Structure 1
Amino acid sequence: MSEEVLWKGSPSQVLNLGKYLVALLVAIGIGVGGIFFPPAWAALVLPIGWAIWTFVVTRSIRHELTTERIRLVEGIFNQKIDDVELYRVKDTSMERPFWYRVFGLSTLIIETSDRSQPRIEIKAVRDGDNLRETLRKQVEYWRDRKRVREVDFDETAAAEGGHHHDDGQDQGTMV
């Protein structure tokens, strides 16, 4: 089976609405100040430049779900690329703050046993329910294929004598 891309996305710019609003208010303030002191107009480059930079930084964040891994790419000049194998995914949850729900967005939170990426947040994306379900199906496929099982170790029992307790909660990955 060759690796296929199942989903690809970037955070929505809705994530930055507060920053854009601040940049707009500062630009308006500079514009009004420029009426009385025309050299102040040159300062408009600051809020406009900051807003453009914020846009580009958010746009440079890319997430990809393939049939085998989650790939995280970020960075404008220096890129950081990180892959997390799907069998290492332990749990997922979804957050939908009010402002995101207004725009049909959500944040998918993924807990993993990967040391470099123990928690992944895929922020402000559309159709989060389908993304989460697609991820869940692929994780189950790879766990079955690699024969990976989640086992819970009761830390209090381990400290008292090393007893193992499996209550169905995902705590550690055993390969």
Structure 2
Amino acid sequence: MSTTIAPAGSPSETSLWKGHTSQWVHFWYYFFCLLLAAGCGVAAVATGGLAAIGLVVPLLMWIIRWWVTKCTAYELTTQRLKISSGILNRKLEELELFRVKDYAMDQPLFLRMMGLGNLTLITSDMSTPTVEINAIPGVEGVREMLRTAVQAERDRKRVRELDVGGDGGDALVA
């Protein structure tokens, strides 16, 4: 059994926020599944119940979409953003907060009516240059937590973003 010991002087990492994408983001998809199920129900009456077997298709479509969305989780800590996804095979993507260059909050009308919003991060990370966290509740608070955590992590690591040249290319400099 191995034990990992944090280096002396390194702060402990604490969780600031955990969340999932809301199922409201799939409203039209679920609505289509309901229409498809209704069509199968009408066809079942016309075919003497034979078309009722078709109800399995919209039901499976609904369940799979719900499950995939539910199995994608986000966790914002004081040092990283962790994104875990996958139903059978799990994938964990970690983004160091000092690599976040910019963030934008977006609240389309439908999501705003539900108290939800989208958060888009532009990063200097090679594997994930853009991260989208869609349809999360309390997006304003999450954005503020992210902003504070990014600044604190940059200060802790002594990293600053530097605009070089007029082409808009950015670099992180220690």
Q: TM-score, normalised by structure 2?
A: 0.90
Q: How many residues align?
A: 163
Distance 1:141 1:29 in 2: 55
Q: Deviations over 1:28-86 (max 9, x none)?
A: 00000100111110110000110011100110110100111000111101111110111
- Which of 112, 118, 128 pairs up with 1:101? 112
Structure 1 SS opposite 2:65: helix
Distance 1:35 1:88 in 2: 59
Q: CA RMSD in A?
A: 1.3
Q: In the alignment, which residue of structure 1 is the partner of 2:131?
A: 120
Structure 1 SS opposite 2:21: coil
- In the alignment, does 2:146 pair up with 1:147? no
Checking the alignment, whether the CA contact within 8 Å between 1:70 and 1:83 is kept in structure 2 is: yes
Checking the alignment, whether the CA contact within 8 Å between 1:150 and 1:172 is kept in structure 2 is: yes
- Which of 73, 84, 91 pairs up with 2:84? 73
Query: What's the CA shift for 1:153?
Result: 1.2
- In the alignment, does 2:51 pair up with 1:40? yes
List, as ranges, runs of 4+ consecutive aligned residues in structure 1 with deviation greater than 6 Å. Answer: none
Query: What's the CA shift for 1:5?
Result: 0.9
Query: What's the CA shift for 1:170?
Result: 7.9
Amino acid at match of 1:19: Y
Amino acid at match of 1:26: L
Q: Deviations over 1:93-122 (max 9, x none)?
A: 001111101101000111111111111111
Q: In the alignment, which residue of structure 2 is the partner of 1:9?
A: 19
Q: Percent identity?
A: 40
